[in-house]
Amino acid sequence: MHKPVILITNDDGIMAPGIRHLISFMIELGDIVVVAPDKPQSGMGHAVTISSPLRLKKISADGEYPEYSCSGTPVDCVKIAVNKVLHKKPDLIVSGINHGSNASINVIYSGTMSAAIEGAMESIPSIGFSLMDFSFEANFLAAKKYIKQIAANVLEKGLPQGCCLNVNIPAVVESELKGVKICRQARGNWEEVFDHRRDPRGVDYYWLSGEFKVHENSKDTDEWALQNNFISVVPVQFDFTAHNFIPELKNWRFNV
């Protein structure tokens, strides 16, 4: 019987506990191949590496499944995995499990989700998984059955052209998980705080930090789901066109 080929990547780097757990879950569903960044790539958005070369290093020792680290971004990992490791499209790409939420507008900054979006751009069914816990000891096991079920569903049914899934998981014990809820991306943004410091040479520098603010509490949003201990699943697409503004914009006087 044909076993599906599953490509696994992430943005926290190949040694992160999140991807180690995802590997252990996916190995029960198919033939896995791991191509993940050789260092943390959080917040890299949909960045690609075009001004420097990429390194790809085989790191698996036991031969159970092939595992490579890549010097690039999560998007680079997907591209090089398909073209230079698999030499074909996998049946599924899973990215994560990210350490920290990628709900709401965080989808746009997220390297984890960018890998999944890149997969969708290549017409490969793709899912990004994130757990709302940044700690090294985060409990990635609580949602195991849901993660496997979501991946199994996508393997069985595929996803529409140009669509991937953004799955976020609340950091609670298994018994408190209320199940999966299909959602839309909540409106929210980051209120930046720049921590202004001075280096030993007397030159200023800044750390970018900030606080995430949710601007709505509608029950159909991912943020509401997560606050209420549901696993949120948002179908994600990459047509950025604001279609509903086109008619009005056509009335503007641009041609002089």
Site stretch for a copy of itself (CB under 8 A), options 1-9, 19-27, 43-51, 131-139? 43-51
Task: Please say which residue, 17 or 188, places its beta carbon nearer to a copy of itself.
Answer: 188
Residue 201 contacts a copy of itself per CB under 8 A:
no
Residue 132, burial from CB neighbour count under 10 angstroms (0-12, 13-18, 19+): middle
Rg of the chain in Å (alpha carbons): 19
Which residue from 2, 88, 201, 253 is in contact with a copy of itself, where contact means CB under 8 A? 253
Mask for 3-32, x = binds a copy of itself (CB under 8 A): ------------------------------
Residue 205 contacts a copy of itself per CB under 8 A:
yes
Residue 232 contacts a copy of itself per CB under 8 A:
no
Which residue from 13, 20, 153, 229 is in contact with a copy of itself, where contact means CB under 8 A? 153
Residue 213 contacts a copy of itself per CB under 8 A:
no
Other Cβ atoms closer than 10 A to 71? 17
Residue 158 contacts a copy of itself per CB under 8 A:
no
CB of 45 to a copy of itself, least distance (A): 3
CB-based contact 84:68 (threshold 8 Å): no
Strand pairing category for 56-58 and 188-198: unpaired
Bridge partners for 191 per DSSP? 211
Other Cβ atoms closer than 10 A to 148? 14
CB of 106 to a copy of itself, least distance (A): 10
Which residue from 5, 15, 27, 47 is in contact with a copy of itself, where contact means CB under 8 A? 47
**Token pair of 251, please?**
């009335």
Task: Please say which residue, 60 or 189, places its beta carbon nearer to a copy of itself.
Answer: 189
Buried-exposed string 2-26: b where 16+ CB fall within 10 A, e elsewhere: eebbbbbbbbbbbebbbbebbbebb
